[in-house]
Amino acid sequence: MKKTTILLVCWLVSVIAPLSAQAGVLDIGEETHLIFMREEEKLARDVYLTLSKIYPTAATFSNIGETSEQTHTDTVRDMLAKYGIPDPNPDANNLPASIGVFTGANYGWYFTEKFNALVNWGSQGLLEALYVGAFIEELDMLDIVGCPKIIVETDNGIGAGECGLTYTDEAALQTMYTHLVDGSKDHLRAYVKSIENIIGAGNYVAQVLTQAEVDAILGR
């Protein structure tokens, strides 16, 4: 009798455990935001790789673009797969052909325009390029934590505050987004350090976040 009970318990554990490990169901805000972040992380990677070719002696672009941002965009891709959501950029790792190419049905046009504008800005000089890096990292943090303005403005029924880290209750998304924010903080510090080597220590002015938020990240 005891043996039968033990076998039954083991069977129940074997059935229930995999079910509990499965991804939950995302609502439209969570799903849309996850798709959006796949493209935004790719945007960062693509811009940095492009700027690294223009400024080969500025190692910050290649160091962040080739390692961290590649990891970030792959991480979001894997999270899409976890929830059974189609990847808006399935050919993202077909380098260098995929650089600057955004194929997402909803926001591909937005990121294409963003890529072109940021590269044009960064092409004006090394200091401008470093500001582009800092801008992207500030924007990334804003868009990860809250619901990006472009998502709210799109006619998809998602309101302000209905997507992003502060909205989702899905543990896997919370963990991933927190790690992405931490990465962006490190990247912002790196870009600001390079900027202030040129303009002087303590002179960087926030571009997207509030100055208080940026100062806190920089430890000021």
Judge whether 114 and 42 are in contact, CB under 8 Å.
Answer: no
Residue 205 lies in a domain: yes
Question: How many Å apart are CA 151 and CA 159, to the nearest integer?
Answer: 8
Q: Establish if 8 belongs to a structural domain.
A: no
Residue 17 lies in a domain: no
Q: Is residue 107 part of a domain?
A: yes
CATH code assigned at 205: 1.20.1260.10
pLDDT confidence bin for 7, thresholds 50/70/90: very low
Count of the separate structural domains present in the chain: 1
* Residue 171 forms part of a structural domain: yes
Residue 96: cis peptide before it, omega within 30 degrees of 0 = yes
What mean pLDDT is reported for the chain? 90
The crossing angle, in degrees rounded to 10, of helices 69-82 and 171-199 is 160
DSSP SS3 for 115: helix
Torsion sign (Cα): 15, 16, 20, 24: positive
Task: Decide if 137 contacts 193 (C-beta within 8 A).
Answer: no
Q: What is the pLDDT of residues 33-59, one digit of tens each?
A: 999 999 999 999 999 999 999 999 999
Cβ atoms of 172 and 81 closer than 8 Å? no
Q: Name the band, by pLDDT with cuts 50, 70 and 90, for residue 3.
A: very low
Least Cα distance to 50 among 133, 111, 109, 157 occurs for 133
Residues of the domain holding 145? 27-218
What confidence tier does 20 reach under pLDDT thresholds 50, 70, 90?
A: very low
Supply 6's token pair.
């033990």
* pLDDT band per the 50, 70, 90 thresholds, residue 94: very high
Dihedral angle sign, alpha carbons of residues 167, 172, 174, 177: negative
**pLDDT value, residue 22:** 54
Question: Does the residue 4 lie in any domain?
Answer: no
Determine, yes or no, domain membership for 148: yes
Structural domain includes residue 41? yes
pTM (predicted TM-score): 0.88
pLDDT tens track for 145-166: 999 999 999 978 899 999 999 9
58 φ/ψ angles, rounded to the nearest 5 degrees? -90, 95
